Amino acid sequence: MTAHFNSLDEFCQQLMQTHTLDAKAIAGAQDRNSQLTKPPGALGRLEDLAIWYAGWRGNPRPEITAPQVVIFAGNHGVCAQGVSAFPSEVTVQMVANFEHGGAAINQLSKAFGAKMDVHALSLDTPTADFTQEPAMTEDELLDALKIGWAAVDPNSDLLVTGEMGIGNTTSAAAVAAALFGGAAADWTGRGTGVDDAGLTRKTEVVAKGLELHAANDPLEVLRCLGGRELAAMAGAITAARAHRIPVILDGFICCAAAAVLEKVQTGALDHAIAGHLSAEGAHQRLLDLLGKKPLLNLGLRLGEGSGAALAIGVLKGAIACHSGMATFAEAGVSDG
């Protein structure tokens, strides 16, 4: 679907004007939950998830039948600083792997019945090295936001955004530090598995980027320190809200991109839940600042949307119980 914005100011306006929870659907879901054949609260967090999902879909007895996984890929000029254990060529190679169905995210999408799409964003033209200049121009940022927006299928009923981009944990660390403060070392992790010397170098690179770009505006932070795939994820998450499509957030990189939206407009991520806690060290801190409790904690650090895709199963389970269980009256069971 075509984006309804042609400037960053219009994008912000779009973000501020999107939908909120449907109070009538919430009330109906709560009423239904109170009548299901189980002790009150027996399904724990699954009950809260089902009611939350019902509120965003505007249906007190919803189903999940059309989840969508969208992977965005981008290359980063900051890789010239030696911040990754892998060369930038791997981004192109992994996109081909996604397209041929050979990656982990392909298997997880298939396992949970999700349609999967891949969008490569100008891989032959990496973003600028943010230790030297802003990563993107305003037009490049706007284009990436639009690509993310248009990638969302309005007919889907759940969205997972994933990413691929060698060097993007460096970009995400810089974005998170700029948004929330703290030292570069607080936010910089091993990413693809850099050694101690690589981690030191990566931390110095993040610190240099923060020193060069002292931006306060969240979208300016994204422009100066982010990447095209981070911007595209932000655009997709915003589009999902406009379509009343709940979102499952993936790991550190996805959450850093999403955090930009929350900084623009408090509550911008109310339609999103955290799929998992990744093994990237700063992810827990970022989730705490966003007020998101992860559904899973399995030590994953792959990216690609893999942890969030796995969490589709948890949310599907919550909805299956909520919408499929019998009430006490229907089952002829005494509710005490």
Provide the token pair at 275: 């799929």
Distance in angstroms (rounded) separating the CA atoms of residues 162 and 154: 18
Name the 3-class secondary structure at 248: strand
Tell me the β-bridge partners of 119: 72
**Given the residues 211, 220, 304, 330, the one annotated as active site:** 304
Cβ atoms of 235 and 152 within 8 Å: the answer is no
User: Which are the contacts of 83, defined by CB distance < 8 A and separation ≥ 6?
Assistant: 167, 170, 191, 194, 198, 201, 202, 205
Run of H or E including 11 = helix 8-16
Distance in angstroms (rounded) separating the CA atoms of residues 275 and 135: 28
What distances in angstroms separate CA 63 from CA 54, 158, 159, 279, one per listed residue?
A: 9, 10, 14, 31
Neighbours of 197 (CB within 10 A): 9
Run of H or E including 154 = none
Name the 3-class secondary structure at 254: helix
Distance in angstroms (rounded) separating the CA atoms of residues 142 and 180: 23
Q: Annotated catalytic, 304?
A: yes
DSSP label at residue 92 = H
Q: Which residues are catalytic?
A: 304
